[in-house]
Structure 1
Amino acid sequence: MRSWKDTIQLEIIQNHPQFILVKIHNGGLIKPILTAIVYGNPNPIKRKSLWEALKAAIPSDNTPWMALGDFNALLSEEDKKSSSIIGKRCPHFREFLESKNLQDLGFQGPFFTWQRGGVFERLDRAIANEAWCQMFPQCLITHLTRIKSDHRPLLVNNNLDFKLPRGRPFRFLAGWAQH
């Protein structure tokens, strides 16, 4: 186990060819969290093993789990923009997310995270299980500026000090659209 700062300790749980799984212990957290840092193989045949290995890395209990990085896979055709090439989504990626009930954590910033020439793709993202989403409901992923890379780095901000507004939550009523 390695210490980072005085209160954070990292423990490498698994070192897979396409991801590293770490357990993060923080004195301020009730329980440790698991994070997988992913670099999916660009070859779809080799990348297929990533989905099964990540499935096995997700805890069956209520431990918060997140994966982020370059999955090298498209979830939808909209994840690619090019004048001549149509985006081909990865059905294995979608099946993986659905089978484990994982959420894409969304983002702020430019939509596409990878660019080469006139081809733009969203290959980089953060996903999490329900326990993560409950522990960090204000988690914010930001697509940063590309510097000396064809990928945008991802910034994860758990924003634990963010306070939600008090009072009644806003509810949209469908009838308003017809009024």
Structure 2
Amino acid sequence: MNVVCWNVRGVVSARFKNNMLDSIRTHHMDMLFIWEPRISGEKALSVVKSLGFPCFEIVDAIGFFGGLWLLWDNNKVNVEILGTSDQSITACVTLENHSPWIFIGVYAHPCTSRRAKLWDYLSFASSCHQLPWLLAGDFKEMLSMDNKMGGVPVNQFKGLKSWFESHDMVDLSFSGPRFTWRTKNIHERFDRAGCNLNWRRMFVDAHVRHLPRTTSDHNPIKIFVHSCLSTNPLNRPFRFEAMWLKRETFDDLIAQVWG
């Protein structure tokens, strides 16, 4: 299963739809979490329906601020929406052969005082749902100084870092570009995925890949819930070493194994 999360910074540009449809085909998304589309109502509904996912949940933008979309393929994953706010969508996710778990898509408010309400809500949600859970999105804060390069030092470590530590959260490892947002001289990692220990035990191979930026100044992040390496011997690629031909017993071995 693959989950892609992206701060699109608006969907009204002519390039957005084509780039998004290409990304959906390329990255085989089972769930897609989008924030900051900056449109609401019928316009938002029209764009969401054009992306080809049979199921979705929309939290409208407030003016030109925010907005959250969660889209999924119900042929691959069962999703039940549990609640929404202007900073999050909470859903119960069930995969075949797995127990249910909680997914919370997050778009933290740029204002520190408004963002504090998100940490309160997440604490409340964690007390209500005694299930494995995964958080992903744009937290507007960092966990350490190496999440930032350039610009003046800022106090963007208190809320998120404190909440992660108090709830025994695990920041999922990632591959790809080090930072997920940048301006001319500042690079920061705001977009991430984290989980509690129960979710990590359920999906021990889960990891994140930072995808290339396209129409936004944020990199999309792709969460591989399972390992991208096949564990089925029938699906493993065939490999052949030319040096094997030098062994005198090679022909006999092939006849024995494949005969």
| TM-score scaled by length of structure 2 | 0.58
Task: Give the secondary structure class of the aligned counterpart of 2:121.
Answer: helix
Change (3 A) 1:57 1:123: same
Query: Which residue does the alignment assign to 2:137?
Result: 69
- Give, in angstroms, the shift of residue 95 of structure 1: 1.1
Query: Which residue does the alignment assign to 1:123?
Result: 190
Aligned pair 1:107/2:174, yes or no?
A: yes
Query: Which residue does the alignment assign to 2:92?
Result: 23
Q: What is the distance in 1 between the residues matched to 2:173 and 2:76?
A: 28
Matches of residues 8-87 of structure 1 in structure 2 within 5 Å? 8-29=77-98, 31-58=99-126, 63-82=131-150, 84-87=151-154
Of structures 1 and 2, the larger Rg is shown by: 2
| CA shift digits 1:47-84 (9 cap, x unpaired) | 011111111112567521000010011222221111x4
Change (3 A) 1:122 1:34: same
- What is the aligned-residue RMSD (CA, Å)? 1.9
Q: What is the distance in 1 between the residues matched to 2:100 and 2:184?
A: 41
| CA shift digits 1:81-115 (9 cap, x unpaired) | 11x42243321211101111111012111111001
Task: Give the secondary structure class of the aligned counterpart of 2:175.
Answer: coil
Query: Which residue does the alignment assign to 1:91?
Result: 158
| TM-score scaled by length of structure 1 | 0.82
Query: Which residue does the alignment assign to 2:223?
Result: 156
* Uncovered stretches (5+) of structure 2, i.e. residues with no partner: 1-54, 56-71, 232-259
- Give, in angstroms, the shift of residue 5 of structure 1: 3.8
- Give, in angstroms, the shift of residue 16 of structure 1: 1.6
Query: Does the aligned pair in 2 maintain the 1:66–1:127 contact within 8 Å?
Result: yes
* Uncovered stretches (5+) of structure 1, i.e. residues with no partner: 164-179
Q: What is the distance in 2 between the residues matched to 1:32 and 1:59?
A: 16
Work out the percentage of aligned pairs sharing the same amino acid.
Answer: 29
Candidates 122, 138, 146, aligned match of 2:213: 146
Query: Which residue does the alignment assign to 1:169?
Result: none
Aligned positions, number? 160
